[in-house]
A and B are shown apart, each in its own frame.
Chain A
Amino acid sequence: MSIAQLAPTLVYFLVFYVGPLAVLLIISFLSFRDFQFVEPFTVDNYVSVARSETFRILFVRTVLLAFLSAFLAVVIAYPFAHLITFVFPRRSRTLYFLVLVSLFGGYLVRIYAWRTILGIEGVVNGTLLTLGWITDPIREILNSPFAVVVALVNFLIPLAVLPIYASMQNVSPGLIEAARDLGSSRLDITRRIMLPLVLPGVRVAFAFCFIAAAGDFAIPALLGGVGSSFIANQIQFQIGQTANWPLAAAMAMTLIALVVAITAALTWASRFLTR
Chain B
Amino acid sequence: MNGRQQEDAVREYLEAKLQQRVDRRSFLRLSSGIVIASSAAAFLAACSTAATTAPTAASTAAPTVRPTPNIKGSTLEWIGLDGEDAAKIDSAKKWRDDNGVALASKYIGTGDEIFAALAAGQQFDIAITFNPYIVRSAKAKLIQPLDTSRLTNWNDMFEGLRGAGFLNIDGKPYGAPIAWGDGPVVFNPKKVPQGEAPTSIKDLYDKKWAKRLTMSNDPAWLFYLTAIDMGFTNAPMLTKDQLAKVAERSAGFVKQNVVSFAATYADATDLLVRGEVDLSLLGWEAMLNFAKEKGGELAFGFLKEGKGGWSDSYCIPTSVVDVDAAYAYIDAIISPQINADVAVALVSGAVNKKAVPLIPAKDNIYDYKNVEKAQSGVFDDYLAPESVTDPNIATRADWTDAWGKITA
Please give the residue numbers on chain A whose beta carbons come within 8 Å of chain B beta carbons, in ascending order: 26, 33-41, 52-54, 57-58, 112, 115-116, 119-121, 139, 142-143, 221-222, 224-227, 229, 233-234, 237-238, 240-244
Per the bound structure, the CA–CA distance linking A35 and B261 in Å amounts to 25
Q: Is B3 an interface residue (CB 8 A)?
A: no
Q: Which residues of A contact B405 (CB under 8 A)?
A: 53-54
Judged by a CB distance under 8 angstroms, whether B112 is at the interface is yes
A33 contacts which of B59, B255, B386 (Cβ < 8 Å)?
A: B386
Q: Are B404 and A54 in contact (CB under 8 A)?
A: yes
Which residues of chain A are within 8 angstroms of B267 by Cβ–Cβ distance? Answer: 222
Neighbouring B residues of A143 by C-beta, 8 Å: 259-260, 276
Distance from A233 Cβ to chain B, minimum over Cβ atoms (Å): 8
Nearest Cβ on chain A to B80's Cβ, whole angstroms: 16
**Residue among A26, A36, A120, A121 with max Cβ neighbours from chain B (10 Å):** A36
Contact of B110 among A39, A139, A241 (CB under 8 A): A241
Min C-beta distance of A47 to chain B, whole Å:
14
Does chain A have a CB within 8 A of B248?
A: no
Residues in B whose Cβ lies below 8 Å from that of A229: 407-408
- Give the CA-CA distance A234 to B217 in the complex, in Å: 10
Interface readout for B68-111 with A: 1 if CB under 8 Å, 0 if not? Answer: 00000000000000000000000000000000000000000110
Cβ-closest chain B residue relative to A242: B400
Partner of B275, one of A37, A121, A237, A242: A121
Cβ–Cβ < 8 Å partners of B112 in chain A: 35, 240-243
- Residues 28-54 (chain B) with a chain A CB within 8 angstroms: 46-47, 50, 52-54
Q: Which residues of B contact A221 (CB under 8 A)?
A: 217, 261, 263
Separation of A246 and B112 alpha carbons in the complex (Å): 14
| Contact indicator B46/A139 (Cβ below 8 Å) | no
A240 touches B110 (CB 8 A): yes
A-B contacts, CB under 8 A, total:
106
CB distance from A7 to the nearest CB of B (A): 24
Contact with A along B228-268 (1 / 0, CB 8 A): 00000000000000000000000000110011110100010
Report the minimal beta-carbon distance from A143 to chain B, rounded to whole angstroms. Answer: 5
Beyond A53-B405, A221-B261, A237-B217, whether A243 also contacts B254 by CB under 8 A is: no
Tell me the nearest residue of chain A to B137, going by C-beta: A35
CA distance A237 to B408 in the complex (A): 12
Assess whether A226 is in contact with B119, with CB atoms less than 8 Å apart: no
Choice from B52, B259, B386, B401 contacting A225 with Cβ under 8 Å: B259
Given A33-B386, A119-B275, A226-B261, A58 contacting B254 (CB threshold 8 A): no
Q: Within 8 Å CB of A57, what residues of B?
A: 408
Nearest CB on B from A113, distance (A): 13
Contacting residue for B115 out of A54, A112, A116, A243, CB 8 A:
A243
CB of B64 closer than 8 Å to a CB of A: no
**A226 with B407: CB separation less than 8 A:** yes
CA distance A240 to B386 in the complex (A): 15
Mask, B349-391, CB within 8 Å of A = 1, is: 0000000000000000000000000000000000000110000
Q: How far is the CA of A224 from the CA of B224 in the complex (A)?
A: 25
Chain A contacts for B386, CB-based, 8 A: 33-35
Inter-chain contact B50/A115, CB cutoff 8 Å? no
A153 CB → nearest B CB, Å: 20
Interface residues of B (CB under 8 A from A): 46-47, 50, 52-54, 56, 58-59, 109-110, 112-113, 115-116, 119, 140, 211, 217-218, 254-255, 258-261, 263, 267, 270, 274-276, 386-387, 396-397, 400-401, 404-405, 407-408
Bound complex: CA A244 to CA B115 (Å): 12
On whether the beta carbons of A54 and B408 are closer than 8 Å, the reply is yes
What is the CA–CA distance of A242 and B398 in the complex, to the nearest angstrom?
A: 11
Whole-angstrom CA separation of A121 from B271 in the bound complex: 11
- B274: chain A residues at CB < 8 Å are 115-116, 119-121
Q: How far is the CB of A34 from chain B (nearest CB, A)?
A: 5
Cα(A226)–Cα(B400), bound, Å: 16
A174 to chain B, nearest CB (A): 54
Contacts of A237 in B (CB 8 A): 217, 400, 404
Q: Which of A35, A54, A116, A243 has the most B CB atoms < 10 Å from its CB?
A: A35
Q: Told that A35-B115, A242-B397 touch, could you supply 13 new A-B pairs with CB distance under 8 A? A: A33-B386, A34-B386, A38-B53, A115-B274, A120-B275, A142-B260, A143-B260, A225-B259, A226-B407, A227-B407, A241-B217, A243-B112, A243-B116
Instruction: Determine which of A41, A226, A234, A242 lies in contact with B258 in the assembled complex, contact meaning CB atoms within 8 Å.
Output: A226
| A–B pairs, 7, beta carbons within 8 Å | A36-B56, A115-B276, A116-B274, A121-B274, A241-B217, A242-B112, A242-B397
- Say whether A37 contacts B54, CB under 8 Å: yes
- For B50, the chain A residues whose CB sits under 8 A away are 40-41
**Min CB gap B116→A, angstroms:** 5
Q: Which residues of A contact B47 (CB under 8 A)?
A: 26, 40-41
- Residues of chain B within 8 A of A222, CB atoms compared: 263, 267
Q: If the complex has contacts A143-B259, A237-B217, A237-B400, are A34 and B387 also in contact, measured as CB distance less than 8 A?
A: yes
- Which A residues lie within 8 Å of B109 (CB)? 240
Name the B residues within 8 Å of A241 (CB-CB): 110, 112, 217-218, 400
Closest 9 CB pairs of A and B: A243-B112, A54-B404, A225-B260, A57-B408, A54-B408, A41-B50, A143-B260, A35-B115, A36-B56
A33-B387, A35-B386 given; A244·B407 CB < 8 A: no
Contact of B116 among A26, A35, A40, A112 (CB under 8 A): A35
In the complex, A233 Cα to B400 Cα: how many Å? 13
Of the candidates B110, B255, B397, which one forms a contact with A244 in the assembled complex, judged by CB atoms under 8 Å apart?
B397
Q: Kindly list chain B residues whose C-beta atoms are within 8 Å of the C-beta of A120.
A: 274-276
Q: Given the complex of chains A and B, what is the CA–CA distance between A242 and B276 in angstroms?
A: 28
- Complex alpha-carbon distance, A224 and B116, angstroms: 30
In Å, the complex CA distance between A53 and B408 comes to 9
**What are the residues of chain A within 8 A of B263 when measuring CB–CB?**
221-222
Which residues from chain B contact A36 at a C-beta distance below 8 Å?
56, 58-59, 119
Inter-chain CA distance A1–B400, complex, in Å, is 51
Who on chain B is nearest to A48 by CB? B401
A34 with B400: CB separation less than 8 A: no
Q: Is the CB of B255 within 8 A of A226?
A: yes
CB-CB under 8 A from B275, the residues of chain A are 119-121
Interchain CA distance A242-B211 in the complex, whole Å: 27
Q: Which residue of A lies closest to B110 (CB)?
A: A240
